[in-house]
Amino acid sequence: MAKILSFVGKSNSGKTTIIENVVPILKDQGLNVLVIKHAKRFEIDREGKDSYRIFRSGADVVITSKDKTAFISRFSDDLDFICEVFGRFYDLVITEGFSRACKDRVVVLNCPEELSNYNCGRIIAVVADFNVDGYISIRKNDYEGIAKVIIDWFYS
Amino acid sequence: MAKILSFVGKSNSGKTTIIENVVPILKDQGLNVLVIKHAKRFEIDREGKDSYRIFRSGADVVITSKDKTAFISRFSDDLDFICEVFGRFYDLVITEGFSRACKDRVVVLNCPEELSNYNCGRIIAVVADFNVDGYISIRKNDYEGIAKVIIDWFYS
């Protein structure tokens, strides 16, 4: 079973950019990573495509090729269920958002006052352009530093 | 575990249209259906979107909302593996293509000579604009008739 770590913070805090830059470092360290992202609404497929037509007809859909497989389902956003179904193929699951799931977390801040929104779950680091007393504080563009904290946490 | 049925036939035989029209009838009969479609290459996501950026960074991705969840992975097109991972949530898995997997099948034909390409696996019906001796033959636009054969097979 994968270990689960959440990246939490406001929507404009830079979580996606940080994750995008930290994942390659984690992969270089041998970790197979799944990122789970929450969306209010999303359209992954395109109108008119076969897979879109079939999904709309009422079936869930898998599209598969030699090196990529997509699964479009009517599953809801139950994080524990999603981790159970998909997480078993990975070493590490990173969730973007899901702050109320109270998983161990990296908190990405624009200002110190935001921290109080994210106090369920263990904070393994604060990522911000300032230091926060009592927490490991890392700058937003220090991807190596963020990856190191994650790896230390992963093997702890 | 789901029962698995393949729709096989040339790429212009109308498989997708048939599946698209038969699925709602199967759902009305209480069957929860997953369709697995093979593609030489596909792009499910759009450049610039967060999920696309994260996938490109090297992680597999889940995007999830209240009523829909997509999973984009580096899994290959191993049908048995895909059925094992995803099939357990469904009553019926319909594969489009995968003729060489030798599953029970509906063969969609443009002309009688094509039938010989699809003789591995048990043929439960031929769908074509002509009859084929020795097989249940159904017209391409007879979606109710095709659904009935599938339901009889499913409960047999």
Task: Give CA–CA dist B69/A78, Å, rounded.
Answer: 10
Q: In this structure, how many other beta carbons lie within 10 angstroms of the beta carbon of residue B71?
A: 26
Q: In this complex, do B54 and A61 lie within 8 Å of one another by their Cβ atoms?
A: no
| Phi, psi of B67, deg, nearest 5 | -125, 10
Characterize the bridge pairing of strands A3-8 and A105-108: parallel
Provide long-range contacts, Cβ within 8 A and 24+ apart, for B99-102: B99/B6, B99/B8, B101/B6
Rounded average pLDDT over A124-147: 97
- Distance, in Å, from the CA atom of B62 to the CA atom of B40, rounded to the nearest integer, reads 22
pLDDT digits (tens, 9 = 90+) for A39-80: 888 877 776 688 889 999 999 999 999 999 999 999 999 999
The beta strand positions in A9-104, using DSSP E, are: 33-38, 60-64, 69-73, 92-96
The DSSP symbol for A35 reads E
> Would the CB atoms of B70 and A73 count as touching at under 8 Å?
yes
Which pLDDT belongs to residue B42?
82
pLDDT at B47: 67
Q: Do A44 and B63 touch (CB under 8 A)?
A: yes
Q: Which DSSP helix (H) or strand (E) runs through B144?
A: helix B143-154
The pLDDT score that the predictor gives to residue B41 is 84
CB contact under 8 A, A66 and B86: no
CA–CA min distance A134, chain B (Å): 31
The reply to whether residue A66 touches residue B72, judged by beta carbons under 8 angstroms, is no
Query: pLDDT tens digits for B64-74?
Result: 999 999 999 99
- Structure-token pair, residue B61: 């991705």
State which residues of chain B have pLDDT below 50: none
Q: Taking CB atoms and an 8 Å cutoff, what residues of chain A touch B34?
A: 59-62
Which among A58, A60, A82 is the nearest to B62, CB-wise?
Answer: A82
List the 112-151 stretch of B: residues with Cβ below 8 A of A. none
**Mean pLDDT value across residues A99-120:** 94
